[in-house]
Amino acid sequence: MDLYEFGDNEIYVTKIGLGLAALGRPGYINLGHDLHLGKDKSAEGMSAHAANILDFAWDQGIRYFDAARSYGKAEAFLGDWVIKRNIVEPEINIGSKWGYTYTADWQVSLPEGQKHEVKEHSIEVLNRQILESRGTLPGHLDLYQIHSATLESGVLDNVAVLEKLAELREAGLLIGLSVSGANQAAVIEKALRIEMHGQRLFDSIQATWNLLDQSAGTALQAASDAGMGVIIKEAVANGRLTPSNNNPKFMGKMLKLQSLADRYNVGVDAIALAAVIAQPFVDIVLSGAAKKEHLAANIKALDVEWQDDPLDLLADFGESADAYWGFRSQMAWN
């Protein structure tokens, strides 16, 4: 797998990375998640399962891996695997995120009112979680991102947080932010304007962009033009752009995806990923696969050489940002 420069950050990454949101905890919102993890969902069983997927990803050439403090034990699984494989810098690049705390205690079905993860973008959480991340990823943390920054959380106006992030950046850590929700574009635009000590604070942006929600595209292009690395998450819309989606209302679009998949001799998930990779602002597309077969199918996106603009071919796929995120908010943890 070829390496590409990550924005103007002087590190090199693979076009496809592996996100560990589905690998570090037994519960997640991806369609069919329960079936993808196998029967043993103990911490030990999932650690072994994650290591097998990480081994496969590495052997396929993937060199960027993305975790978060709230992804259960994802950082710990990743850190243990790096040590056991004796992988050293600069062979690998690892990003993680702060701002959410995992609270599900390894459960999937929670009592009413209890959440799987709790968001807090305070300086206290940043100070705690940077130490935790560095402790579980010793010597291998390259990029630290605000997890799902929003205008409402106020994190981009929190001077103490911004000063701490600037301090970490000046010490050599790349600083980024991930965004979620219908106002992704506005958050990206605000982040682009933030400077600390005479320099742009953020080195990267991680956002949702897929065939269903294309609303952040213009802002992501602006970020790329400014030299920020761009990471795309949820490229298959939490399974909605894969065969796991059997919603009758989506069947017309699924048939169109399948027709293109047959033309290019790949799966429908690869078509969705390839459409993302084709966008000029994209540096990394994250696969969220939790099975080897799914990761292998995702990687085939690199084989798609579009004869026509995929956005022209799939012009009727786009939803409004409000509709997309409204649907996502109703997806059940499983």
Q: What does the pLDDT look like over 304-330, one tens digit per residue? A: 999 999 999 999 999 999 999 999 999
Count structural domains, the chain.
1
State pLDDT tens for residues 40-49: 779 899 999 9
Is residue 16 included in any domain, yes or no? yes
Is residue 131 included in any domain, yes or no? yes
Distance CA 269, CA 241 (A): 6
Quote the pLDDT of residue 31: 65
Residue 37 has pLDDT above 80, yes or no: no
Is residue 256 included in any domain, yes or no? yes
Distance CA 36, CA 40 (A): 11
Alpha helices in the chain (DSSP H): 33-36, 43-59, 74-85, 123-136, 159-170, 184-192, 217-225, 251-264, 268-277, 292-299, 310-313, 321-329
Distance CA 175, CA 152 (A): 20
Total Cβ atoms within 10 A of residue 156: 20
The CATH number given to whatever domain includes residue 77 is: 3.20.20.100
Residue 30 has pLDDT above 90, yes or no: no
Is residue 288 included in any domain, yes or no? yes
Residue 152 has pLDDT above 70, yes or no: yes
Is residue 91 included in any domain, yes or no? yes
CB 209 within 8 A of CB 216: yes
User: Which of 58, 62, 74 has the alpha carbon at shortest distance from 21?
Assistant: 74
Q: What is the mean pLDDT of the chain?
A: 94
Quote the pLDDT of residue 34: 66
Residue 113 has pLDDT above 90, yes or no: no
* Residue 224 token pair: 């790329």
Give CA separation, 25 vs 43, 92, 108, 182, in Å: 8, 23, 9, 26
* Residue 292 token pair: 């080897």
When pLDDT is averaged across residues 246-260 and rounded to a whole number, the result is 96
Is residue 307 included in any domain, yes or no? yes
CB 217 within 8 A of CB 279: yes
Task: State the pTM of this model.
Answer: 0.96
Confidence band, pLDDT 50/70/90 cuts, at residue 106: confident
Confidence band, pLDDT 50/70/90 cuts, at residue 209: very high
Is residue 129 included in any domain, yes or no? yes
**Omega of the bond leading into 138 within 30 degrees of 0 (cis):** no
Q: Which domain holds residue 100?
A: 3-329
Is residue 334 included in any domain, yes or no? no
Residue 230 has pLDDT above 80, yes or no: yes
